[in-house]
Amino acid sequence: MTATAQDTEVVLKVSGLEAGYERPGRHGFGRRRVPVVAGIDLAVRAGRTLGVVGESGCGKSTLARAVVGLRPAFAGSIEFAGADLASVPARRRRRMSRDLQMVFQDPYTSLNPRMTVAAVVAEGWRVHPGIVPRDREDAEVARLLDLVGLSLEHGQRHLHQLSGGQCQRVAIARALALRPKLLVCDEAVSALDVSVRAQILNLMADLQAELGVAYLFISHDLDVVRHIAHDVAVMYLGTVVEQGPAAEVFGDPQHPYTRALLSAAPSVRDRPDDGAGEIVLRGEVPSPAEPPSGCRFRTRCYMAADVCERETPALVPRGGPPQAVACHFADGAGTTAPPREGSEPDGRAGTDHARP
Ligand SMILES: Nc1ncnc2c1ncn2[C@@H]1O[C@H](COP(=O)(O)OP(=O)(O)O)[C@@H](O)[C@H]1O
Ligand SMILES: [Mg+2]
């Protein structure tokens, strides 16, 4: 991390977070907690974007929902703007929720399709009065629509009359109407066509430059995260395995899982023709509710040794590169250890996996 990056104020700090869902207990008594993510540490700096990547099912949405308070946190802390969200009184928490907004994957289900666009954008002002005086609301809606590339005429339409990309613009305008410090985006562009996706990503980058809002930007799509994130956290089975500046994580990945992910996505790598073959991971992803002991990645790792079964590797910087890596063998030089028997970097160097 550069000196300037470290100097920037941290808006969101997640430490040791365990979160998941609750189920009825045995014989229907009480509730049983099922953790999905565990030991998550991450930080989002003011006006910057932390991208979170990982395969479907690794717990990204659980993390996003826990951060905005839609899922219970079983352990750990979520500090927002310097205050621990779990310990602030309800009233202050409500006030803080204004600064912490979320954009979901599907605007058709996350927003009310029967409302007009203008009413959707202004909805948050009913919950959080005092942001915009009543007599200024129309003008502010017009300004917000303009900001996200919609016209005043769109304001009178209903959501079901808009395209997916236009709806997502409305969802962004609605979130920005509260002037948040942080926007949590969970697969916010994943349902959009490629060209519309690029437009929305560019819009979000422009809005960040203009408004200074920070993004926790979650996506299973490496290309998308590569496009928008300053920093990246790579998730596997409910934990962060590697985190650091995007250029370092994508340019010089240290964790065996990150390497495997990137090996299957040459278009995301800095040097797609680096001759590295695709690393094909063996086995199935275990259930996040019953993760392997020690390193959660070990059952699929081509470098796993006995220590990986016994000891959980901490997410820490390991020598050379600036990113933090949760791997016993990533010391900046040691990740070249020979693959263990039964694993297969399959050596398909030079095959064309490039996506459009
Ligand atoms: N309320 C729930 N009930 C049952 N399983 C759940 C629930 N919430 C999450 N899970 C399980 O937790 C895992 C992670 O889910 P999620 O956080 O949605 O992952 P992602 O967003 O990375 O795809 C999945 O295996 C999912 O089935
Ligand atoms: Mg999800």
Q: What is the mean pLDDT of each run of 10 residues along the chain (356 residues)?
A: 60 96 87 94 96 95 95 94 87 88 88 91 92 94 95 93 93 95 95 91 94 97 95 97 95 94 82 72 90 96 95 90 92 48 38 32
Residue 346's pLDDT is 40
Q: Count Cβ atoms below 10 Å from residue 144 Cβ, excluding itself.
A: 23
Residue 276's pLDDT is 66
Cα–Cα distance, 170 to 192 (Å, whole number) = 14
Q: Domains in the chain, start-ordered, CATH in brackets?
A: 7-229 (3.40.50.300), 246-325 (no CATH)
**Does ligand 1 have an atom closer than 6 angstroms to the CB of 21?**
yes
Atom of ligand 1 nearest to the CA of 289: 12
Distance from residue 289's CA to the centre of ligand 1 (Å): 10
**Does ligand 1 have an atom closer than 6 angstroms to the CB of 120?**
no
Closest-CA residue, ligand 1 atom 18, reads 61
Distance from residue 107's CA to the centre of ligand 2 (Å): 14
Residue 266's pLDDT is 75
Q: Mapping DSSP to helix (H, G, I), strand (E, B) and coil, where does residue 194 land? A: helix
**Does ligand 1 have an atom closer than 6 angstroms to the CB of 300?**
no
**Does ligand 1 have an atom closer than 6 angstroms to the CB of 101?**
no
Distance from residue 118's CA to the centre of ligand 1 (Å): 33
**Does ligand 1 have an atom closer than 6 angstroms to the CB of 56?**
yes
Residue given tokens 């928490």 in the structure block: 93
Residue 114's pLDDT is 86
Q: Which ligand is nearest to the CA of 55?
A: 1
Residue 335's pLDDT is 44
CA dihedral 266, 271, 273, 275 (to 10 degrees): -90
Cβ neighbours for 91, distance < 8 A, ≥ 6 positions apart: none
Q: Please, what sign has the CA dihedral across residues 189, 272, 41, 203?
A: negative
**Does ligand 1 have an atom closer than 6 angstroms to the CB of 62?**
yes
User: CB–CB of 201/18 below 8 Å?
Assistant: no
Cα–Cα distance, 131 to 206 (Å, whole number) = 23
Q: Which ligand is nearest to the CA of 235?
A: 1
- Tally the residues of the chain: 356
HSE of 203, CA atoms in CB hemisphere, 13 A: 24
Residue 336's pLDDT is 44
Side chain identity at residue 132, one-letter code: V
